[in-house]
Structure 1
Amino acid sequence: MLETYSPSERLEILRRYRNLIEVWHTRKTTTDRWMVRKAFRLAAEAHKDMRRRSGEPYIYHPLEVATIAAGEIGLGRTSIICALLHDVVEDTEYKISDIQAMFDEQIARIIDGLTKLDVLVEGSADSSLQAENFRKVLLTLSYDVRVILIKLADRLHNMRTLDSMPREKQLKISSETSFLYAPLAYRLGIYAIKSELEDLSLKFTEPEIYATIQKQLDDSRAEKIMAIEDFLLPVGEALKRVNLKFRAVISEKSISSIRERIKKKEIPFEDVHDTHVVRIIVDCPGPMEKIECWQVYAVLTSVYRPNNERLRDWISLPKANGYESLHATVMSSKGKWVEVQIRSERMDEIAEKGYAAYWKYKDSPSSESGLDEWLGKVRELILTDDNTALEFISNFKLNLFSDEIFIFTPKGKMISLPKGATALDFAYNIHSDLGNQCIGAKVNQKLVQLNHPLKSGDQVEIITSKVQSPKEEWFGFLVTARAKSRLKEAIRDFRKSHKEKGREKLESLFSELNIESSKKNYSQLMEAEQISGLVDLYYYAAIDKITLNKVKNAFREDRSGKFLRYFPNPFGRPKQLKTEQEQVVEEKQTAKPSLLNANVSDLNYTVANCCNPLPGDDVVAMVFPDEPMHIHRVSCPVAVKLMSQYGNNIVKAKWRQTENVSFLAGLKITGIDAIGFVNKFTDIISNQLGLNIRTLQLESSNGLVEAVVTVYVHSVQNLNDLITKLKEVKEIRKVSRLDRVTDTSQ
């Protein structure tokens, strides 16, 4: 079995296998061990001639995936076997039928869910193989969540070993991870894996920022831990006096969460005081959990002053992923805010291992049904969504990854909806008929329209009329997949009622042009008019939207038979930036990045206005058929979305070294509204650094002024020098770069 490996590799393979058995904590009968050993032997034999890009034997990978599944997620025998075999069908000559014959149907089905598609399904309306593969994985949630859990283990190990991959592959995999897999881990409650996936994604998409924050954490760690230990001393003594059995843990926040805080608050690392969090975990029987957690809170706030605005109670109302905890923020004796998370041992295990631990406690009276409800929504979305893969992913993220709001019916029943849901969403989530006949709503006793966005805590009463019927424009009012599905069904039923009238009208039009009324010819007309099915074709014919001229055009003799099909770009196509010659003076022009790949260096391109890249920014080029290349900053959210779905379209790019070209950049400057404030920063821009200001907008309120300035710079270093210089002005409190620059001077 291991003959093809070197002696040192054989020893390492056996060491990793023994480590897998050691971290496998669930039930292990003799049969269980025998089946896992059988899977290991099969994987080792199947992958014996394969190597990873790093040069290591490929068998290391399935062994590590199985170890993560067993040790870090807490899965059992079936999942370990599937993790060991997850690449066997995809990468070797073995087939799903072979796996079923050697093991059982359940294992074969899980491995089939883990096996990626090689090519797009014929006739697929979108070109994203990544989106199709992710949809395939998500479809398994309707019958076995273990596929997703093993996939997360697989993705985590791939991210841990991504250093050996080329840059384009790193960007593709990291973007997929942050856009799809990390949110999925969060929704399944696996916080430890979610945080590590986000950190590793940041490491490869923004390596300099990752390294900077990591060094700052390393430099400040000892001092901050010592301060928290001092903070805990009086709390621990007080808890012991009331005979509570507990343990305290100091946890460091993830690099990615600190990065998000710095970005959102527009503050330096030094101003992020809560880089560490304290967890107080009580050991008590299930019925006493809530009581003892609140008792800990009472003791904590008797020692330190709380910030009541930052109290979060996820014990009384757990998150949808099953997370339960009491979050408090208190002022330490040294004047620093400290975040404290209070939970039971059961809650802590669910927080760390998510769905796997939740399942263990599912029948416990303390366990909430939030995760079951979320999985129910997943299954409903899967069963009702008939869109393309990209639309499916978009719906999935919107409905199942977004924050929740909690709405109440007139009788006090609570309904959870994704943030941004409207009154019409609420109506359709109650019942199809309520949505179809909805003419308005009362929100907290006030009349509102169908598209009124709801907020947590709203009480909603739906107003209906029997003469109301569903409208196609209502799709623009809806957020939830359930509501869209029910509206689509209602409209489809309405259109079906026009079938006979539409058929007669079509036959008449075809007869007038001497064209046979056949299925083939109907299909040609539907393709020309971009109509999705016969029901819609008959409906449009019945309401006279299919005219004689449209039928003529669909069957023109000079048509090649191939119809140019346009599909909506979900990201929006960036506009070409105007040249500097048009904007300022003749000698200035927009620069082009020079691509590393000489074969595509002369292609037309557009610089994305969603992130406004400058020379010196780490950029990526995305290539699409019949479109100019799109140049984005690697950290741009739109670029992350594109790379997560079109990884094979990534092209490396870098800027030419030039000082003769200027680019438009934007800054937001906040400071004290004092005499001469504007003169000071415009003097730095124009006189000291010799840069041209394009636009300047000012807003003043309550003694503060906010200026939005667009200015021409040569590079990101030029812009950073300007920011550094501006921060030296004592009246200026904050300076930040704007991602999107809008030229309002035209």
Structure 2
Amino acid sequence: MAGNLLFTKEERTELINLLKTLRGAIIPTVTHEEEKKIYNCLKAAADNKEIVRDVFGMNPILSSFRTALIAHEEIGLKHDGIIAILLYTGVRDNISAIERIKEEFGENVSRIIKGLVKIQELYKKNPVIESENFRNLLLSFAEDMRVILIMIADRVNLMRQIRDTENLDAKFKVSEEASYLYAPLAHKLGLYKLKSELEDLSLKYLEHDAYYMIKNKLNETKKSRDQYIQKFIAPIEKKLTDAGLKFHMKGRTKSIHSIWQKMKKQKCNFEGIFDLFAIRIILDAPLEQEKMQCWQVFALITNMYVPNHKRMRDWLTVPKSNGYESLHITVNGPEGKWVEVQIRTERMDDVAERGLAAHWRYKGIKGDAGQDDWLNSIRLALESKDDMQVMDRFKMDLYEDEIFVFTPKGDLIRFPKGATVLDFAYHIHSNVGNCCVGAKINGKIVTLRYVLKSGDQIDIITANNQTPKQDWINIVKTSRAKAKIRQALKETQIKDGLYAKEMLERRMKNRKIELSEATMSHLIKKLGFKETKDFYKQIADETLDMNHVIDTYLKIQSNDSGTQAQNVRSAESFSYEAPISDKAGGHEDVLMIDRNMKGLEYSLAKCCHPVYGDDIFGFVTVNGGIKIHKVSCPNSHELHKRFGYRIVKARWSGKGVSQYTTILKVVGNDNIGILNNITSIISKEEKIMIRSINVDSSDGLFSGNIVISVEDINRLEKLIKKLNTIKGVKQIRRL
């Protein structure tokens, strides 16, 4: 072919040979007329300099022929798949050419090429290919399953050709992709031969020394290994034949990649791997006698060789969740060597070889049963001798309820279908979500309401003056984003309330009005508010007139002042030297505990941690200060009995505005996440803070102490009620 792509003599020779092989393999599925059209298409692309050598200096046309042969011989692709592979090189950057393909070669070929182009676009976004999400995204993009099969065949061809390349960076990159992405895909489709080849070649290029060390060791031991296998199976064959069983046996050596993975996992050298090979005994047994014959073989072998019971695997009685059935035993054979023996029937072996042991079971995908049927049907179609057009029935509907989108760095994130830019912003960080005003998606600016699509690359746009809105809760789809928006709105409400409270206090100070929490509490209730925060919010929103609030406050204060003057003595004038008895008549003196108390030293007892609102009493200490105890304090009885003359009656004054420390004793089932649920509820409570947590676990139960700061007893009791609703919490009480 002419143009920018010049063929070397060796390349021309190889291309002619490949063409002969392909022509012999796929005729009569590809007609002579179609061959001419393919040639003209590739020649036109080459003449227009649309085909150039890749980063390894390889000829793309020659590579496409190699890939086509692998796809046909190793996978089973035929007419449409082969034509798509050959044409893709010449039309991938030419949309109009793809439309002509549809006219000349049909919808199927055109759809496969479009799928290959679409996935190539994903690579331009520099994705992190190591993530499971990228595999999921590839599968969701490939409406025609042949797209994935062609990608696997293409990567196998590439890995075979880059052995001697000088472009080491590119070689390293494609080898990593083969290991993380293409080998697992091949495994999931049951293409075990290609999967093993991709893994071994990846190891060869990425860890050269390890690969050749194992390869040389295997070569050195091959002769003795083959002799040992024959020595091991000879008496087994005789026993099974004498028992009248129909069977065949085969031995297999582990792949180099598998041996290396085992060496790393067990942290040992090559000689430390005892199961370098396994013997597989495959019985030809009727369905109703399968298990009986398998166990019969098991008994015969374990009578001949001593088994290692710790390494026995019974997937016959209880098959794996993916349908795999087999008996695995490891026995001590001749010369004291351990040998793995796998016992199964023809049916079981057929199931395993078809790939049913490698079903996709991704979290969040609905319905394993339909998924398994879908994959099994594809696998059967691949192995069928029928034309591959039978696969046109199968569409990728596994991911219809979820999407995959890119971060600017190429990381992939999974979202439910219908998620918006705002969901993405809150997934990144709360502050990013709170300040989000829109996004740039694939170079185009969109609003925060934009509904995300699979493959979108998203760059969030923020503004410092942006704040969360109440209607944002209806925009987002994920519960995580909804929770973060509610939290942000709550924090904003608290800030507004603090600002409003500060304004009110400043206004009252300017008018020389003394602020009392008790009077303020009375005021809030009189104005019809159940929650203090609602009262301050209306002040902040200016829907409640501040002058009206202050006037009402003054009226309440004047009405209450006379009564308070008669019933309550000031803390400064209180004399605690005279003992107070519960039986004393007349007017009793009561110590009023208030944050504004002056001239009197008091502290809260650590034995019972009283909180504002508890029934309390005071105890005069030897240094003259007063300890405040709960009436229900465990030391209360002893203090009254021995030191009754030092007991002082006390009660709280005003409203609880300080933070009081108390301890909660929690006992519950030691379930995953229960402690997170407890701390999450506490942290969401307004004006309650966690100070420390100390937890022990034993026999499936955990018990611990949570030290918290709380403003009053009402908040504490509400918190305890909420914590008691958590599943798994058996007991929660104050210490």
- The normalised TM-score by structure 2 is 0.47
Larger Rg: 2
